[in-house]
Homo-oligomer: A and B are copies of this chain.
Amino acid sequence: MTHPVLTVGSVAFDSIRTPFGEVSRVVGGAATYFSIAASFFSEVRLVAVVGEDFGERHMQVFGDRRIDLEGLQRVPGDTFRWKGEYKLDLNARETIYTHLNVFQDFSPRVPERFRSTPIVFLANIHPALQMEVLDQIEAPRFVALDTMNYWIDGTPAELERVLQRVDAVVINDEEARQLSGKANLVQAAREIREMGPERVVIKRGEHGVLLTRGDGFFAAPGLPLEEVCDPTGAGDTFAGGFIGYLTAAGDLSDDAVTRAAICGSAMASLSVEDFGLSRLLSLTDEDIRSRFEAFRRLTHFDELDY
């Protein structure tokens, strides 16, 4: 039997412009990317909110995947909306607007039968909401959290409290520096561990991932991709592959976490090849396995011999 993972975060309508094209009002959101990516590995329990404008055809992105939607509330009002634009340097993006809409008054409610979920991923939302969800889970075995500059700056006390209760943070390098106040990532990881999380996972976009392992680090470069179409959701997709793999493995050892980071990297590298969720929605297990092997080919080297 495979273990389930519970996530809370945004389900959204995204409008995205990149140098390669534009899509308008497509389904997105951190919890959506996370859930779909994780569902390739394990059962997912989604806690989120949408508005009345989120119809049956939008629900189809969750399709017949292993995503339990009992915790997805539908309330009066409009769904969360975000519009962003990427220039030629796909590492930088500009937010055109963020309309919280139904997220403004969101009070996450974890359904009774979700409360014993062993693995929890708190996607990037207000740390007070992350805490509300955590309070409803009985004795979680492993809790991971994402956050962003907006909360690090704006709600540091709430963030600090929830960090004390999580096992892993999954953030990008700028966020790691900002959260820790350290420019050097070795020092940043150490500072963050002192805030609570044993495991620090730093996403570096096209430069791959760096995470604490044993008394050192594991690092994987990014896969060089010729066609990067849309980076939206790449970080959440990484988290989905990472936590989804760990959940399925039922193993939190350094070795499992390392393989999980490669799974997350593989999922993210696939996701960016098309707009929004498109690539994720067409993925097969074979695509994932073959991308994992591409990472091995990319990084493998033999014993030194001189």
In the complex, A232 has a CB within 8 A of chain B: no
Residues of B within 8 A of A185 (CB): 224
User: Which residues of B are found within 8 Å of A293, using beta-carbon distances?
Assistant: 304
One complex includes copies of this chain to the number of: 2
- A306 lies within 8 A of B249 (CB): yes
Residues of B within 8 A of A249 (CB): 305-306
- What separation, in Å, do the CA atoms of A219 and B219 have in the docked complex? 11
Which residues on B sit within 8 Å (CB–CB) of A300? Answer: 258
Q: Which of A207-237 contact B (CB under 8 A)?
A: 207-208, 210, 216-226, 228
- Residues of chain B with a CB closer than 8 A to A299's CB: 218-220, 299, 301
> Across the interface, do B302 and A255 meet the contact criterion of CB distance under 8 Å?
yes
Q: Given the complex of chains A and B, what is the CA–CA distance between A248 and B208 in angstroms?
A: 32
Which residues from B are CB-within-8-Å of A298? 216-219
Closest B residue to A222 using CB positions: B219
Asked if A259 is at the interface of the complex by the 8 Å CB criterion, the answer is yes
A188 and chain B: residue at smallest CB distance: B224
Chain B residues whose C-beta falls within 8 Å of the C-beta of A302 in the assembled complex: 255, 258-259
Give A263 Cβ to nearest chain B Cβ, in Å.
7
- Chain A 175-202 interface mask (CB, 8 Å, partner B; 1/0): 0000000011111000000000000000
Of the residues B222, B259, B261, contact of A305 by C-beta under 8 Å:
B259
How distant is the Cα of A186 from the Cα of B228 in the complex, in angstroms? Answer: 11
B225 touches A186 (CB 8 A): yes
Interface presence of A239 (CB below 8 A): no
Assuming the A-B contacts A262-B301, A299-B219, A301-B259, are A183 and B306 also in contact, with contact meaning beta carbons closer than 8 angstroms in the complex? no
Give 19 A-B pairs besides A186-B224, A249-B305, A255-B302 with Cβ atoms closer than 8 angstroms.
A184-B225, A184-B228, A186-B225, A186-B226, A187-B226, A207-B207, A207-B221, A217-B298, A218-B298, A218-B299, A219-B222, A219-B223, A219-B298, A220-B221, A220-B301, A221-B221, A248-B306, A258-B302, A259-B301
A→B interface (CB under 8 Å): 41, 88-89, 183-187, 204, 207-208, 210, 216-226, 228, 245, 248-249, 255, 258-259, 261-263, 289, 292-294, 296-302, 304-306
8 tightest A-B contacts by CB?
A: A219-B221, A186-B226, A207-B207, A258-B301, A292-B304, A186-B224, A221-B221, A217-B224
Enumerate 13 A-B pairs (CB-CB under 8 Å) in ascending A order.
A187-B226, A207-B208, A208-B221, A217-B224, A218-B301, A219-B298, A219-B299, A220-B301, A249-B305, A255-B301, A263-B304, A263-B306, A293-B304
